[in-house]
Amino acid sequence: MFEKEQNFIADKITQYLKTNNLPEMDVRWAWIPFNGQWGISTSFFQLAARSFGAEKGNVAQKANEIAQGVASAIEMPAGFSKIAAVNGYLNLYFSPADYSRRVVDEVLSAGDDYGKGQPLGKRVMFEFSQPNTHKAFHVGHLRSAFLGDVLSRIAEAAGYDVVRANYPGDMGLHVIKWLWNYLKYHKGEKPEKDITRWMGAMYAEANKRLEENPDLDAEVRAIYSRWDKKDPEIVNCWKETREWSLIGFKEMYEKLDIKFDRYYFNSMFEEPGKEMVAELINRGIADDERPQGGAVIVKLDEKLGLKEEKFRVIVVQRSDSTALYATEDLALARQKFLDYPDLERSYYVVDVRQSLHFTQVFKTLEIAGFDWATRCQHVSYELVNLPGNVVMASREGTVVLLEDLIREATSRALEVVREKNPDLSEESKLKVAEAVGLGAIKYPMVSRDSGKIVTFDWETALDFNGQAAPYIQYAYVRANSILKKYNAPLPESILPDDQLSTSEIALIDLIARMPGEIQKAAKELKPLTVSNMAYELAKAFNDFYGQCPVLIAEEPVRSARIRLVAAAKQAIANSLALLGITAPQAM
């Protein structure tokens, strides 16, 4: 926002250094921690050290000398209120009124783009969600879906080209069990409605039968080998039933406003994965223990010459030669880089239980000599606990289906909306309830450190007064309703009164920090940076709202505040958009 001024002063510093026969320096600005006044600063320590060359000298003293010299040589540029040399640093303070006008003007002219970074010309991929076909889409899948979606939104805002990839588990033992149960007991049946629920129920049924009678396992294995030989009956049945699951998933993603650029499927990687394993055996990286009745394995620690157990042993193909999860992951990782050779990072958003799996897969690829292997990264997250200690296990069918959770969230939100805003039309109430309900589910999943378990409870999720989506949405609605009452085009850019109140300053400061926070969140892969920011913004806006009259203030304060309200509304909307949460027009 202040590049022009920063460059202007940097030029002055360069001139000063030249005139005084000092080495050149690359001027870097850092923000001075906010303390009622905004300012930037640059350090002269490195330059001072270099100025001595090989000789010894007092670096701190020299840095201070240079800072003093620069400070007295520079005339104060417009928009600043103070220049000071302090302990080897040059500090420049903005005049608060000027600064706040700049921030507000910038937000209002950038609009929906406020906070976004310049295109970086770098591509990253996030693989996330990855539900399994032939199973229920349940609440356990939500954190990956939301984290991956929000990480993608943040990376995009930070300037990356983002590829959103899904990797549905459309093949594996779970699918084979499902097919066995279907062919044996339900052949010809089709789900009428509520596809995902039906698919999930059939899977639970298959498991129940197999648990009651373990002898049936042989039949399941027979189906697996028919699948492996591409028996048309199995392949066709799989194709048809898989489609049912995929239709159900698409409906879910639409509801959640989650999009994918690319679908990879487990089934696509069985054969290429086996070929890679054969190659690993040929090159002496994998040990083929199938002749002795064992599997194909890679003894990672041994290959790496490690004495202590670290990466252990990974099984890359089953003893009966069928592909397993790891076989497919080897080929999937390679395919991603064939499709996008310029991928700077290939992220896998998958829960923490699979950490060892990914460490082993990526290590195997590294040993195999793929130079992109080190660009693969597992982004792990902890699990979600639901109210009433519901445990998620699709094997037993004890899962809370996503659609049920959404239904419950919406109906709870509707109750709150009815109470808060009885005058709203029934149709608007429903729309608001949907936005509030979905926000209530999403926010807790992305606002907690990914390494910590989320314990979901309705009270917190639907809190209008605490750190939750409805509180943020409500702040947005408040800003919106002030502007509705004002009901005129926004006033022209205006320099606010010199005496900005503390709540105005705090709000402006948060708004100004937004672009930096987005970059930080993208770099650290931390959505919670953004969810905190959204909450802090809402809170700062509410403080301002409680302390500063807007429409009844005297000019020119009134105009400046109206513009600030519009800027705050935009900033809150943009941060909600990064979280994939709808900003309702009324509540």
Positions in the binding site for ligand ARG (CB under 6 A): 127, 130, 132, 167, 169, 329, 332, 348, 350
Q: Which is nearer to ligand ARG, 171 or 567 (CB)?
A: 171
CB contact at 8 A, 183 and 190: no
Nearest distance from C-beta of residue 127 to ligand ARG, angstroms = 6
Q: Which is nearer to ligand ARG, 157 or 350 (CB)?
A: 350
Nearest distance from C-beta of residue 132 to ligand ARG, angstroms = 5
Tokens for 316? Answer: 């890359």
* Closest-CA residue to 143 (of 369, 373, 361, 451): 451
Nearest distance from C-beta of residue 131 to ligand ARG, angstroms = 7
Distance CA(456)–CA(387), nearest Å, equals 6
Q: Which residues of 315-352 are buried (b: 16+ CB within 10 A; e: fewer)?
A: bbbeeeebbbbbbbbbbbbbebbeebeebebbbbbbbe
Q: What are phi and psi of 586, to 5 degrees?
A: -145, 165
- DSSP symbols for 369-399: T-GGGGGEEEEEE--EEPGGG----TTTT--
**How far is residue 376 CA from its own chain's centroid?**
17
Q: What end-to-end distance do the CA atoms of the chain give, in Å?
A: 34
Distance CA(151)–CA(446), nearest Å, equals 9
Distance CA(63)–CA(307), nearest Å, equals 50
Q: Which is nearer to ligand ARG, 91 or 394 (CB)?
A: 394
Nearest distance from C-beta of residue 161 to ligand ARG, angstroms = 21
Q: Which is nearer to ligand ARG, 327 or 480 (CB)?
A: 327
Q: What is the side-by-side order of every strand in the sheet holding 89-94?
A: 30-31, 39-43, 89-94, 80-86
Q: Which is nearer to ligand ARG, 116 or 334 (CB)?
A: 334
Nearest distance from C-beta of residue 75 to ligand ARG, angstroms = 59
> Which residue stretches of 213-349 are H helix?
217-228, 232-256, 270-282, 300-303, 325-339
Nearest distance from C-beta of residue 437 to ligand ARG, angstroms = 26
Nearest distance from C-beta of residue 388 to ligand ARG, angstroms = 24
Phi-psi region of 9 (alpha: psi -120 to 50; beta: other; left: phi over 0): alpha
Give the DSSP H or E segment for 351. strand 343-351
Distance CA(528)–CA(459), nearest Å, equals 20
Q: Which is nearer to ligand ARG, 151 or 350 (CB)?
A: 350
Q: Which is nearer to ligand ARG, 132 or 574 (CB)?
A: 132
Nearest distance from C-beta of residue 351 to ligand ARG, angstroms = 8
SS (H, E, C) 290-304: HHHCCCEEEEHHHHC
Nearest distance from C-beta of residue 346 to ligand ARG, angstroms = 10
Q: Which is nearer to ligand ARG, 146 or 167 (CB)?
A: 167
Nearest distance from C-beta of residue 453 to ligand ARG, angstroms = 18
Q: Which is nearer to ligand ARG, 66 or 136 (CB)?
A: 136
Distances (CA, A) of 509 to 437, 503, 514, 535: 30, 10, 9, 14
Q: Which is nearer to ligand ARG, 210 or 361 (CB)?
A: 361
Q: Which is nearer to ligand ARG, 88 or 131 (CB)?
A: 131
Nearest distance from C-beta of residue 246 to ligand ARG, angstroms = 14
Tokens for 523? Answer: 């770099």
**Bridge partners (DSSP) listed for residue 94:** 80
**Bridge partners (DSSP) listed for residue 206:** none
Nearest distance from C-beta of residue 334 to ligand ARG, angstroms = 12
SS (H, E, C) 62-94: HHHHHHHHHHHHCCCCCCEEEEEEECCEEEEEE
Q: Which is nearer to ligand ARG, 252 or 505 (CB)?
A: 252
